[in-house]
Amino acid sequence: HTTKDVPLSDANTRAACDEARDQEIEIFTIAYGPSIHWNSGELVLQDCASSPEHFFDADYTGELMESFNQILKALVPLRLDS
């Protein structure tokens, strides 16, 4: 999108997050890339996440992959079979 529609995009994202939260859906968010810090996107994603632990900040691909691994660990608890 362009910078002109950022406020509308932010409002739509916040509305979708509120709706999901109202339905008790667990929300993980990832702010990816340095450009996310230049506008309100990172703050919107922080606010959307279910908790501070559900928000990840990834500036490059390695951090993005680590963020997905952390989310996977949170969603799929370690199970040891005896």
**Each residue's pLDDT tens digit, 3-53:** 678 889 899 999 999 999 999 999 999 999 877 766 788 999 999 999 999
Res. 78: pLDDT tops 70: no
- Between CA 66 and CA 45 the distance in angstroms is 17
Res 63: pLDDT: 95
**Selection from 12, 72, 4 nearest residue 48 by Cα:** 12
pTM over 0.95: no
Neighbours of 54 (CB within 10 A): 18
Res 19: pLDDT: 97
What are the tokens at 27? 């929300």
Contacts of 80 (CB under 8 A, 6+ apart): none
